[in-house]
Each structure stands twice: as structure tokens, then as C-alpha cells.
Amino acid sequence: MYQETSLKTDRMIYANTRSDEADMDYRMHCHNSYEIYYIITGNVEYLLEGRDCRPRPGTLIIIAPDCFHGLKVLDGQVYHRIRLHFTKEVLDERERLLLEPFRGGWRRFDEQFGLEWYFRAVEQCREYGKELQDIAIRASITALLSRIFAISEKEPARQNQARNQAQDIIRYINDHLVEPLTLEGLARDFFVSKNHLTAIFKRATGTTVASYILYKRMAAARKELSQGTPAAEAAARAGFGDYSSFFRAYKKMFGYPPSDKRALKLPDMDQSGAF
């Protein structure tokens, strides 16, 4: 069983979904948009930049753009969640201070049952005509973000703070994306075998070192392209050694060449299913 109520514009996607289909594999991905998840029911586990999160009913998870994450549905219980993706263009310049809670990648807040009303207000925008809908969506998202900002000011975020080797490797990769990165070089720098590094990285992120690096570089290139940077320059700034390899990977991942703006829209980064 899968049911979804959704609303989509060129700047936001809202979806209220129910499913009773277990999926034991993480679906790792990242987006160029801000993400908000509100868990209503279900037994699930998230991986977010190598950290695991087992949300309970009423848990709010906020995720910044380009944060690598994935979901595993652990059993056949009904998994009911609300998710909202949006770009910063939903807000005007003055309102973008409401994005401050997203700084640092992701955060979790438990027992936020009162937020469901705010999500329902976004969902209600489906009933309006186009002109009124744009105004109502912006107002509803601004109200939701204002509430999240207030929550983040009053309550400490709950994250798994455990430091381990995989976290150090992830942090190193994110800090050195524009430099040459290889499995062999990382294994040497962290004084471990390639097999050991591969195993601990897979457990922490749900994917391989090479796929993680590709995703993060592609996210960086996509951001540059959205700001009008020429494709070759965007590839170089993101750490791709040559443009031809970037072009092939980009077209495989998004289904369009870098010159095509359709790849910069809100849907999931990876359209190929190969990563």
C-alpha cells in the first residue's frame, strides 16, 4: 500500500505519504534544496552524513542542501511521514535568516507534535487557484520555518555525537573535495587498509567512497551551474579532473547535459538509479 497527497511548484515539493512496504536498503541521495521531515508513524532509520537516526512519532528532521542521506524502512508497519523540499527563493532576503537552523547539515528535534498544524496549512494550499496559491505557500512555509527557528533557539538538537573513524573520513572528504581523492590515498592518510576503509565507510553511509565523492562533487557543480557558472568552470570548482568525465557522469545522473536547466529542478539528484 502506498498513498500520497502532494503539492509541487518550481520552488517546493510537499508530500504526505503512507506506506507499509519494508525496504531494508538505504536509498542514499542528496538534493539542492532544503528538506524537512515530520514523522507521524513508522519504524525507520535514517543515515545522514554517516550518522544514524531512529526517529519516533513526532520527530522533526531538517536537512540542509547537499547533505548526503538515506532511509531504511525496517518492517511492514505503516510508515507515515510528511516531507517538504524547498529552495531559498521561496523566501525574500530578509526572511532567509529563518534558514539558520539548517546550518551544519542536519538536525533532529523530538516530540514536536504541534508542528502538524503547520504542515496541514501547506497542504491546504492545494485548494487555491494559482495566484492565491503562490502567496499562501510562501506564507505557510514562512510560518513553519519561523516555528522551527523558535524551536531551535529553545531546545537543543538531538544528534548522535559519537566520533569515529568513518566520521573523520567523511569530514576530510567534504573539506577536500576540490583536491584529488582516491580510495588508496584515503587509506594511506588514515593508516588503514582499503578493505577496512571500504567496510566502515559502507556501514556509516550506505554507499561506497567513490559514489559518495561523486555525489558531493556533483552537488557542488550543480550549485555552481544554478548560479550561472559556465559548465567547465563549475566542473573544475567541484573537483572534477577533466570535463569529459564530468559531462558523462552528469548526463548519466540527471538525464540531461550540463547546459540543460531541467536538471536543476527540485527532484532527486540521481535520475539514473545507478548510484
Helix H or strand E segment including 25: none
Beta-bridge partner residues of 108: 61
Taking the domains of the chain in order of start, what are their residue ranges?
2-154, 165-264
Residue-level pLDDT at 135: 93
Residue-level pLDDT at 97: 93
Q: Name the DSSP class of 83.
A: E
Query: What length does the chain have?
Result: 275
Which residues of the chain fall below pLDDT 70?
Answer: 24-26, 155-163, 263-275
Q: How many helices (H) and strands (E) does the chain have?
A: 8, 9
- Could you give the residue ranges of the DSSP H alpha helices within the chain? 116-124, 130-154, 165-175, 183-189, 194-205, 209-226, 231-237, 243-254
Kindly indicate whether the domain formed by 2-154 is annotated with CATH number 3.30.450.40.
no
Residue-level pLDDT at 241: 86
Give Cβ neighbours of residue 117 (< 8 Å, ≥ 6 apart): none
| Whole-angstrom distance, CA of residue 264 vs CA of residue 65 | 13
Residue-level pLDDT at 160: 43
Residue-level pLDDT at 107: 92
Question: Out of 1.50.40.10, 1.10.3720.10, 1.10.10.60, 1.10.287.610, which CATH number does the structure's domain 165-264 have?
Answer: 1.10.10.60
Residue-level pLDDT at 26: 64
Q: Name the DSSP class of 191.
A: T
| Whole-angstrom distance, CA of residue 59 vs CA of residue 82 | 11
